[in-house]
Structure 1
Amino acid sequence: MANDDTRSGPLTAPGARMALWLVLLAAAGAFALTMGTRQTMGLFLSSLNTSTGLGLGSISLAFAFGQLWWGLTQPFAGAVADRIGTGRVILAGAVLVALGTFITPYMTSTAGLIFAIGVLAAGGAGMAGPSVLMAATARLVPPSRRGLASGVVNAGGSFGQFIMAPIAVALIASVGWANAMQWLGVLVLLALPAAWVLKGNSNALAAQAAAATGQKALTAREAIAQALATPGYRYLALGFLVCGFHVAFLATHLPGVIAACGLAPEVGGWALAVIGLFNIVGSLAMGWAVGRWRMKSLLSLLYATRGLAVLVFLLAPKTPAVVLVFAAVMGITFLSTVPPTAGLVAKMFGTANMAMLFGIVMLSHQVGGFLGAYLGGSVFQATGSYDWVWYIDIVLALGAALVHLPIRESPLPRPAVAA
């Protein structure tokens, strides 16, 4: 299969400043639409339960499978994007998200929900997800601006959650939950132009770097073997597993947590929106901080902050104001782990195989996401409370804060080209 085109390296031509912002707008916009749609699905959980009568545990299984499948698709989507082209991968991903979201209201069985939410929508979001989008921006922007660029792209996903949650609430109130979900599926198609802006692949860039430095360009298998043999990469994946647990539990069950506290359903929608709004702040701040402090230290600080915030929330009275303040703190740390995590992958291994290697780390993230989404529903169904999930989350956050400290922030040596 032919490549998207031959464009691979950073934008250096006259007018590159405008082209740079076009790249960031395309990547951030695509992430806003796919992430925003996925992160508002928790608002439909109660309606799906009422409509299908399947039970909260069965529906949570579909959401949990979606978390896992979103991660499973990313290493493969990244490998395809690295070699065949980013544009085709984003195009296919956006179409699948739209299709899966649109047909979900017609599903009346657990298997049907797993197919629509877990396979089509989540798989498409993985194809047009952070591993592909972050790698595309890392390839197209100068190295000195990669930290800021990753923060802007990540903020796009947060903005999508901020804007999509109120839209979903308004649509549910005006046209019903089923039509509201289908309208969200149609809105995802606005991401299609990003496929053209971000087209290209990393093959040419890797070949140029190898020729300039006399170092061998690694194959996909060699890059994976080198990464898995690197302790810092494994620690990074473990920490991101905890991030996935936390993010998926909040995205799927925070409206339920708020309802269990006796608060109005609208508070759940606004809490998700506040998370998205403040994650914009956190993502941009983290993109700025990545170039100034050690990325592993920033990650440790983020995870420690999460654990402390959850502990305070458990002890505080459950009022709308407390919930929104908690959502704001969670928003600052919600996805701001992505820029330093992606930055560490790029720093250690370069950009040639970044989409694939970051995709593997994202897979670990989504294993945690599966556990967070599934355990949230299962524990509540068994105990009538979310408390034990919060306790697990605090312990995991502390472990993640510690596991990043031994990571070495330095590029790994590449094998020399044989004479």
Structure 2
Amino acid sequence: MHPSPGRDARILLLRGGAITMLSLGIRHGFGIFLRPMTLDLQWTRETFAFAIALQNLVWGLSQPFAGMLADRHGAGRILALGTACYAVGLALMAQSTTATQLALSAGVLIGLGLSGTYTIVIGVVGRAFPPERRSVALGVLGALASFGQFAMLPYGQSLISAVGWWWALLVLALNAALMLPLALPLARAKGHPAALAGSGQSIAEALGEAFRHRGFWLVTLGFFVCGFQIVFVATHFPAYLLDQGMSVDTGMIALALIGLANIPGAFLAGYLGARYSKRRLLVGIYLARALIIVAFLAAPPSPWSVYAFSIALGLVWLGTVPLTSGIVAQIFGVQYLSMLFGVVYLGHQIGAFLGGWIGGLVYDQTGAYLPVWLLAVGLSLAAAAANLLADEAALPRLRPLAGQA
């Protein structure tokens, strides 16, 4: 007796979720290596920060091509190649003794590894479920990724405390290699018949169709803002709290709370996206981010205001991912979802680079982060307006088949 297509899709979702837990979980823990590596190797913090910024750029620039190859030749090969780049990059990061070596390992190789893992899984999962269940499945995927972010931070810190940063990176390299056996079954994954209906375009036709669609660029603009805000907070929030007279532990707890709160937040976004307009939900998320930041800046600084801010922001932290990828699938179908969402994700990563870089630049020039916080509020309002103006309706060739995505 063969397993049902629904059961196959759920198993694929769990395997894909495990890959994203490892991929994003390890990635979100790089900040805890900054201090021990720079002290031991006598690097400046800029040396480490540049390698991580380069990682985000390489990830973003290579993502559309990785998605195109996955859509054309199958996700399994790209996931295997991405896993290899990720694991080797971590191992070589441990061996790095110069800025160039760190940039090539932590920057280029791990950036390529990320482009060949996380967003490729989004395309596979998006094709595995029918339109009416796709948003919920992507929300579950986001929740699992958030759990990885929450769990890997204390795990990585415990490794550093127990065996030092060098061995910790090698252990993480072995952990990253576990993505390979998880990826192999995805090579044989078949799309749901209802999800694949209406396919048959060439890559050039799919790109041309997307590039001519105003909603595609408006959604990309919103995702740019998401990247800016997330990396600014992830990179500079602990330092901002230290400037406010709080402890290092407060910053660690704050980031962990963001990851923890994002688990229900990402799932809820996917659940609601299956029932309500995704673009209107995105409008709500970006407006909520603006209000949360303004309320935090207005409140007297204390650990409890920090924790409240972290939980509130965590609830809308990565809920943008299932909704944004869901809009792309809803408009254009899923045949080239990995590639088209890869283009949108490039916008996210450009924002991520600027969020990390501008945060440091403004602080060096002014001695404060307030201008960047206010910029984040203004960008949030711009993202809300962009998504409000976007058209999320399925293209005419897909409307008779798309159903309620």
Q: Same fold (TM over 0.5)?
A: yes
Structure 2 runs not aligned, ≥5 long: 399-405
Q: In structure 1, what residue type is equivalent to 2:10?
A: W
What SS does the aligned partner of 1:405 have? helix
- Helix, strand or coil for the counterpart of 1:199? helix
Q: CA deviation at 1:278?
A: 1.0
CA deviation string 1:289-323 (max 9, x = no partner): 00111111000111111111112222223322222
Q: Return the offset for 1:221.
A: 1.1
Q: What is residue 45 of structure 2 aligned with on the other side?
A: 56
Alpha-carbon contact 2:91-2:173 (below 8 Å) kept: yes
1:179 to 149, 162, 167: 167
Which residue of 1 is the match for residue 223 of structure 2? 240
Aligned amino acid, residue 27 of structure 1: G
Q: Distance between the aligned counterparts of 1:208 and 1:299, measured in 2?
A: 26
Check whether the contact 2:131–2:195 (CA below 8 A) recurs between aligned residues. no
Secondary structure at the counterpart of residue 216 of structure 2? helix
Give the drift of 1:251: 2.3
The correspondence of residues 350-369 of structure 1 with structure 2, limited to 5 A, is 350-369=333-352
| Aligned residue number for residue 94 of structure 1 | 83
Is residue 2:366 matched to residue 1:383? yes
| Cα contact 1:82–1:202 (8 A) shared by 2 | no
- Determine which of 162, 166, 176 is the counterpart of 1:188: 176
- Asked if the contact 1:83/1:203 (under 8 Å) is kept, the reply is no
Q: Which amino acid aligns with 1:77?
A: A
> Contact 1:245–1:372 (CA<8 Å) still a contact in 2?
yes
Alignment partner, residue 73 of structure 1? 62
| CA offset digits 1:55-109 (Å, max 9, x no partner) | 3334322211111111112111111111111111111112211221222233233
Per the TM alignment, residue 28 of structure 1 is displaced from its structure 2 partner at its CA by: 0.8
* Matching residue's letter, 2:24: M
Task: Establish whether residue 335 from structure 1 lines up as the match of residue 324 from structure 2.
Answer: no
Aligned with 2:132 (options 144, 152, 175)? 144
Evaluate the alpha carbon distance shift between residue 254 and residue 44 of structure 1 in structure 2; reply closer, same or farther with a 3 A threshold. Answer: farther
For residue 187 of structure 2, what is the amino acid of its counterpart? Answer: K
Q: How many residues align?
A: 397
Q: Is the 8 A contact 1:100 1:120 kept in 2?
A: yes
In the alignment, which of 388, 391, 408 is matched to residue 391 of structure 2?
Answer: 408
Q: For the residues of structure 1 that align with 2:383 and 2:195, how far apart are their CA atoms?
A: 36
Cα RMSD for the two superposed structures: 2.2
State the shift of 1:201 in Å. 7.2
State the alpha-carbon separation in 2 of the partners of residues 111 and 139 from structure 1: 39
1:87-135 superposed Cα distances (whole Å, 9 cap, x missing partner): 11111112211221222233233322221111111210111022x1111
Paired amino acid for 1:174: A
Write the distance in 2 (CA, Å) between the matches of 1:327 and 1:349: 35
Match of 1:199 in 2: 187
Paired with 1:111 and 1:315, the residues of 2 have a C-alpha distance of: 42
Given that residues 24 and 137 in structure 1 are in contact (C-alpha distance below 8 angstroms), is that contact kept between their aligned partners in structure 2?
A: yes
1:83 equivalent in structure 2: 72
Paired amino acid for 1:177: W
- CA distance in 2 between counterparts of 1:246 and 1:311 reads 14
**TM-aligned CA distance change 1:39 to 1:295, over 3 Å:** same
Alignment gaps of 5+ in structure 1:
1-12, 211-215
**CA distance in structure 2 between the aligned counterparts of 1:81 and 1:178, rounded to whole angstroms:** 33
| TM-score normalised by structure 2 residue count | 0.92
Rounded Cα–Cα distance in structure 1 between residues aligned with 2:194 and 2:68: 14
Whether 2:10 is the aligned partner of 1:21: answer yes
